[in-house]
A and B are shown apart, each in its own frame.
Chain A
Amino acid sequence: MKILIIEDEKELAYAMGAYLADENYLCELAFTLEDARQKLACHTYDCVLLDLMLPDGSGLDLLATMNHQQRLEGVIILSAKNSVEDKVKGLQLGADDYLPKPFHQSELLARIYSVIRRKNFNNLNTVQFEEIEINLLSKNVKVNDQEINLTRKEFDLLVFFISNKNKVISKSALAEYLSGDIADMFDNHDFVYAHIKNLKKKLLEVGGNNYLKTLYGVGYKWEK
């Protein structure tokens, strides 16, 4: 999977590149709009991460061009401005998602995962991970062909873990993923543990393997 990161803050671009770089993702970095235009002219990508405020112009202009050229890349806007207008405009211009800064890398990865899936497997919304089969559209989960019943939050957690496999995810990143912006309003994130426990139990009950590793109560890791 090829990803183009258009971000003028080099440190942030490197950090994203480093996080995404595993066997699945090949990242290229562009620090200016011009840079990004050249790269897009020569290559196609699976997903483009687009910062809106770039030194030589607005990312929205690039988005308009890409939309005009009917390019197939999934686009996720990363913006520090966090403005509703930009979000609406970006989505109207064909962006697939909008992620306000600052964000957790795991959240970014989950968004990339879902954007690529939507783009590449048109209407085929199933994800297979070993014995687990997930239908992203109908939100059904089967383990060894046996359907299990997950709550919305358990389902979200499962998808999140699978899109972040082999990554260590902190409990607060999980809390933020589950309850959005308000997570940092609370210092007690124990409910995350409760949801994870239920998810694990439901998977094990139907003979699934335990892929989830707990790291000293601080973080979790979904290992293959």
Chain B
Amino acid sequence: MGKMTKLLDKPLKAFTIYAFVILSLSIPAYYWVVETVWQKELDEHNLIIKERIVSQLQNLLLTQAQFDSVTHIWNVLQSGTRIFPENQPFKKSDSTYLVMRKNKHKKHTEIDRFRGLASHIHFKGKRYSLWIETNVEEADEIVYIISVVSLFFFVLLALGFIFLNRTIAQKAWRPFEKTLEQLKSFDLSATETIDFEKTEIQEFEDLHNTLQKMLYAAISAYKQQKTFIENASHELQTPLAILRSKVDLFYQLPELNEAQLQVLEGIEKPLARVSRINKNLLLLAKIENHQFENVEILDVGGMINDILELLQDYAESKNLRIQVRLEARPDIRGNKFLIETLLYNLLTNAIRYTSEEGEIVIFLDSQQLYVQNTGIISLNPAHIFRRFSVSSSEQVSSGLGLAIAKEICHRYNWKMGYAFDMNKHQFKVLF
């Protein structure tokens, strides 16, 4: 699975990228607009200055000598304009230009940009050049300022998007998030449907209705299955009890010969197996039906020792070495019968599947319990906790022991796991 994106972040990302592109494109556009307007304005400004100079000079009625000294002083004082005799023989018409120049009057060497008007005036029949220059902001400064402003607005936009997104998420999507939460915590075995909150959004209401229908169907199928198993195994109890009592009676018939007795024994064994399967199915159904609610504080270490005493005969007949390591004696809260069943199943399993002369380690501390036994190949961890998965070829197993153990752990929110390492099976319960 790749990186997951939240539904709401998708448009947010797109909006943000779009805003960024548009604002970036706006920078040259703004530059062009500002530059054009500015130059036009400055050209007009320069022209006005020129006209004022021309009209003022005519009004002054200067002599040639006066004019020369005035223009000289003018050129010194008014650095923005220069008037000087024209040398070129040809007549140039008015023109505008841009020039970059160092500012002579400032100490630091800053380069300024000027917009100029190269024109001419006539005095006493002579042509004079008139240059008027006005300081204009440099291009890079304009771009810089526009960029800063654009960036500022972009940040404003992005923040706005995120804020709006959050607000929308919290408001409009809240029912959806809630539904999702409820679905995540849904537990089929609790057989309780979910009450979805009423929403005013059509799609969500549709979603809720559809989900409700599906949940009802799933729950009723699950209930039916459970009731079926419970009823079926209940119904089987009585005929099994009759069968067993009849076999016991049969043993009492006078003068049974060896062959007859062996047939009887052959009947008794599968009968015991059916009884156990049935008992376990009933137990599983009961655990799933949330029976055994009584909880008490249990000394698991003591229970392990009690069970091992019961199993001692079986362990001894296989010459198993059993090592019990009770590092701590935690008080575990649980139903006595269920915890006993869990321990029984784990321990009988270990004893049954360990080959002769094998070793079993039982470890208990406040966090975990594990049962380790020697083995040759790993079991399939994906299958062992399923019903009837391991033992179809086994003679006496019910195939339900580990499924029951897992179900009991599930009841108390304990984690049950299996591992195979260095020729050892390990079944572990994390409290």
- Residues of chain A touching chain B, judged by Cβ–Cβ distance below 8 Å, are 9, 11-12, 15-16, 18-19, 80-84, 101-106, 153, 167-173, 176, 178-188, 190-191, 194-195, 215-216, 218-219
Give A83 to B282 CA distance when docked, in angstroms: 10
Q: Assess the A19–B344 pair: CB atoms within 8 A.
A: no
Q: Assess the B291–A190 pair: CB atoms within 8 A.
A: no
Q: Which residues of A contact B261 (CB under 8 A)?
A: 215-216, 218-219
Closest approach, in angstroms, between the C-beta of B149 and any C-beta of chain A? 79
Q: Assess the A9–B241 pair: CB atoms within 8 A.
A: yes
The answer to whether the Cβ of B48 comes within 8 Å of any Cβ in the partner chain is no
Given contacts A80-B238, A82-B279, A191-B314, contact A185 B265 (CB under 8 A): no
Q: Assess the B311–A15 pair: CB atoms within 8 A.
A: no
Given contacts A16-B245, A191-B317, contact A219 B251 (CB under 8 A): yes
Extra A-B contacts (19), CB below 8 Å, given A82-B237, A187-B395: A12-B241, A15-B245, A16-B245, A82-B282, A83-B291, A84-B292, A84-B294, A102-B243, A168-B256, A171-B265, A172-B272, A179-B313, A182-B311, A184-B275, A185-B396, A191-B313, A191-B317, A194-B317, A218-B264
Give the number of chain B interface residues (Cβ < 8 Å). 48
Q: How many A-B residue pairs have CB under 8 A?
A: 126
Our pick among B238, B273, B286 for the contact of A184 (Cβ within 8 Å) is B273
Q: Which residues of B contact A182 (CB under 8 A)?
A: 310-311, 344, 348
Closest approach, in angstroms, between the C-beta of B231 and any C-beta of chain A? 12
Q: Which residues of B contact A181 (CB under 8 A)?
A: 344
Given contacts A19-B252, A218-B261, contact A101 B238 (CB under 8 A): yes
Q: Which residues of B contact A105 (CB under 8 A)?
A: 245, 248-249
Q: Assess the A12–B242 pair: CB atoms within 8 A.
A: yes
Give A187 to B353 CA distance when docked, in angstroms: 12
Give A16 to B264 CA distance when docked, in angstroms: 18
Q: Assess the B240–A168 pair: CB atoms within 8 A.
A: no
Q: Assess the B348–A185 pair: CB atoms within 8 A.
A: yes
Given contacts A11-B242, A82-B282, contact A104 B310 (CB under 8 A): no
Q: Which residues of A contact B395 (CB under 8 A)?
A: 187
Q: Assess the B317–A102 pair: CB atoms within 8 A.
A: no
Our pick among B237, B251, B275 for the contact of A169 (Cβ within 8 Å) is B251
Q: Assess the B248–A102 pair: CB atoms within 8 A.
A: no
The answer to whether the Cβ of B147 comes within 8 Å of any Cβ in the partner chain is no
Give A105 to B268 CA distance when docked, in angstroms: 13
Q: Assess the A104–B244 pair: CB atoms within 8 A.
A: yes
Closest approach, in angstroms, between the C-beta of B230 and any C-beta of chain A? 11
Interface CB pairs A-B, < 8 A, 22: A9-B238, A11-B242, A15-B242, A15-B245, A82-B282, A102-B240, A102-B241, A102-B244, A102-B245, A103-B244, A153-B313, A168-B252, A168-B256, A170-B268, A182-B310, A186-B351, A186-B396, A187-B396, A190-B317, A191-B313, A191-B317, A219-B251
Q: Which residues of A contact B249 (CB under 8 A)?
A: 15, 18-19, 105
Q: Assess the B237–A216 pair: CB atoms within 8 A.
A: no
Closest approach, in angstroms, between the C-beta of B311 and any C-beta of chain A? 7
Give A190 to B318 CA distance when docked, in angstroms: 11
The answer to whether the Cβ of B223 comes within 8 Å of any Cβ in the partner chain is no
CB-nearest residue of chain A to B259? A216
Contacting A at CB under 8 A, from B245-295, are 245-246, 248-249, 251-252, 256, 258, 261-262, 264-265, 268-269, 272-273, 275-276, 279, 282, 286, 291-292, 294
Our pick among B262, B265, B269, B314 for the contact of A179 (Cβ within 8 Å) is B314
Q: Assess the A187–B269 pair: CB atoms within 8 A.
A: yes
Give A186 to B273 CA distance when docked, in angstroms: 10
Q: Assess the B241–A101 pair: CB atoms within 8 A.
A: yes
Q: Which residues of A contact B264 (CB under 8 A)?
A: 170, 218
CB-nearest residue of chain B to A179? B310
The answer to whether the Cβ of B355 comes within 8 Å of any Cβ in the partner chain is no
The answer to whether the Cβ of B127 comes within 8 Å of any Cβ in the partner chain is no
CB-nearest residue of chain B to A185? B348
Residues 129-157 of B, flagged 1 when their CB comes within 8 A of A and 0 if not, give 00000000000000000000000000000
Residues 182-207 of B, flagged 1 when their CB comes within 8 A of A and 0 if not, give 00000000000000000000000000
Q: Which residues of A contact B245 (CB under 8 A)?
A: 12, 15-16, 19, 102, 105
Closest approach, in angstroms, between the C-beta of B108 and any C-beta of chain A? 96
Give A120 to B382 CA distance when docked, in angstroms: 57
The answer to whether the Cβ of B316 comes within 8 Å of any Cβ in the partner chain is yes
Q: Which residues of B contact A183 (CB under 8 A)?
A: 272
CB-nearest residue of chain A to B273? A184
